[in-house]
A and B are shown apart, each in its own frame.
Chain A
Amino acid sequence: MSSQARLVAGELKRLAKYNILPVSLATAIIWVVLFLFLSEQEAREITPLLIFVDVAAMSILLLGASHHLEKQEGTIKTMMVMPVSTGQILAAKTVASMVLAVESAVPHLLPCFSFMGLLSTMLCFCCLLP
């Protein structure tokens, strides 16, 4: 495995161990459940907002939380004395945040299917990927 792949794998493993992946998945599911109580019209209006709030904001927030934990533990320092560059560490964090965004976007797809049809769902989903 290359150092870069190792860094990403480590990043994802930690997102899972520090309960950041599960938490973000859970919040996404809560949103979706709320959705079921809305009328079709309301749902259509609220969807763009919902997707922005949950997928974008939550993943930024949770990533911030994971960074904060790492800073508290001082593990960044340990990474800096390994033969990897700061750029590689940042790249791994970016990839991990994309995975986080995709992960919390997936549950949204289910209700979207029923309300908006496949095409708009796909469009919507593609917009989310940076």
Chain B
Amino acid sequence: MGVAFKVEDLRFRYPSSKEDTIKGITFDVLEGEVFGLLGPSGAGKSTTQKILIKLLDDYTGSIEYFGKNLKSLDNSFYEEIGVGFEVPVHFSKLTALENMKFFSGFYRQTVDIQGLMERVGLWEYRDVKVGEYSKGMKVRLNFVRALLNKPRVLFLDEVTNGVDPKNARIIKDMIAEFRAKGGTVFLTTHLMNDVEELCDRIAFCVNSRLVEISTPRDLKLQYGKREVKVEYRKNGAIASAVFPLDGIGFNDAFQRLLQTEEIETIHTGESSMEEIFILVTGVEVK
């Protein structure tokens, strides 16, 4: 498997800011994987994506796209990538279909627009002006736009933000299918469900640096706590106790509790991705 992006010691500063927005980050995005970039608000996720898609070129460090220097690539680079921006962008006075036809017209390879729009439930609203779309509809259209050119690498910035669970499900399925066909995905998000479900590897971005690159599974093993939490009723109030999961069968205190108290719930604790996010970044998930 090839390396889609090889990023080394990337640094970037917006002309208007005093401090570096990206302070030297190094990571690879492998071909065919879903790579998730996570981090608290303002960490520099969207900025990193903008650098990778050549919207910001005033960076230092090196970025290779399939072995070629990103800076040396011409516009044909855009034939190969699909971009879903954080905030959906369309011409609001044109209909959804007019928008999609306009954008797809510039590519050599294009997809079946009707098929995609049907899939996300927008085909019946194709003749409605995008300005009259709801937020969730715009987000879905934004996703369709990113797929218009059959991209090799897909960039998605918080792609399920503001979409209802049913449509989020559809979008996540489509991302998984895209990956199954060999596509590479660079995903930025702070929705932990998406990460756990979709990402092969994730990187945590905190204070403009990467602090951890791993797979969701390894993170869970590393940060996960194997324990049992018992809630029971004592003198009318709920009390709780926590025991290590290992050797629980021989744990006298645990056994005694089960025999003597009125048990309300028993749960095995496995840290959720959400807890890991807080542990790694020190920031609560929104």
Does chain A bind chain B?
A: yes
Closest chain A residue to B78 by CB distance? Answer: A83
Residues in A with CB closer than 8 Å to B75 are: 83-85
Q: Are A82 and B106 touching (Cβ within 8 A)?
A: yes
Compute how far the CA of A14 lies from the CA of B90 in the bound complex, rounded to whole angstroms: 12
> Quick one: which of B65-116 are within 8 Å of A by CB?
75-79, 81, 83, 85, 87, 89-94, 102-103, 105-107
- Give how many A-B residue pairs fall within 8 Å (CB-CB): 53
Residues in B with CB closer than 8 Å to A3 are: 106
Given contacts A3-B106, A6-B105, contact A78 B76 (CB under 8 A): no
Compute how far the CA of A80 lies from the CA of B93 in the bound complex, rounded to whole angstroms: 20
Cβ of B1 under 8 Å from chain A: no
Interface residues on A, range: 10 to 19
Q: Are B145 and A82 touching (Cβ within 8 A)?
A: no
Residues in B with CB closer than 8 Å to A18 are: 93
Q: Are A78 and B93 touching (Cβ within 8 A)?
A: no
Interface residues on B, range: 20 to 34
Q: Are A81 and B106 touching (Cβ within 8 A)?
A: no
Compute how far the CA of A74 lies from the CA of B99 in the bound complex, rounded to whole angstroms: 14
Q: Are B145 and A78 touching (Cβ within 8 A)?
A: yes
> Quick one: which of A68-83 are within 8 Å of B by CB?
73-75, 77-78, 80-83
Residues in A with CB closer than 8 Å to B53 are: 81
Question: Contact partner of B94 among A14, A80, A81, A82, CB < 8 A?
Answer: A14
Given contacts A78-B85, A82-B78, A83-B79, contact A73 B105 (CB under 8 A): no
Q: Are A75 and B55 touching (Cβ within 8 A)?
A: no
Residues in A with CB closer than 8 Å to B105 are: 1, 6
Q: Are A75 and B91 touching (Cβ within 8 A)?
A: yes
Q: A-side interface residues toward B, CB under 8 Å? A: 1, 3, 6, 10, 13-14, 17-18, 73-75, 77-78, 80-85
6 A-B interface contacts by CB (under 8 A): A17-B91, A74-B89, A75-B90, A81-B55, A82-B78, A83-B107
User: Considering the complex of A and B, which 9 residue pairs feature the smallest CB-CB distances, nearest first?
Assistant: A74-B89, A83-B78, A17-B93, A83-B75, A82-B106, A81-B83, A78-B89, A83-B79, A6-B105
Given contacts A14-B93, A77-B85, 20 further A-B contacts (CB under 8 A): A1-B105, A6-B102, A13-B94, A14-B94, A17-B91, A17-B93, A18-B93, A73-B90, A73-B91, A74-B89, A75-B89, A75-B91, A78-B83, A78-B89, A78-B90, A80-B55, A81-B55, A81-B83, A84-B106, A85-B75
Q: B-side interface residues toward A, CB under 8 Å? A: 53, 55, 75-79, 81, 83, 85, 87, 89-94, 102-103, 105-107, 145
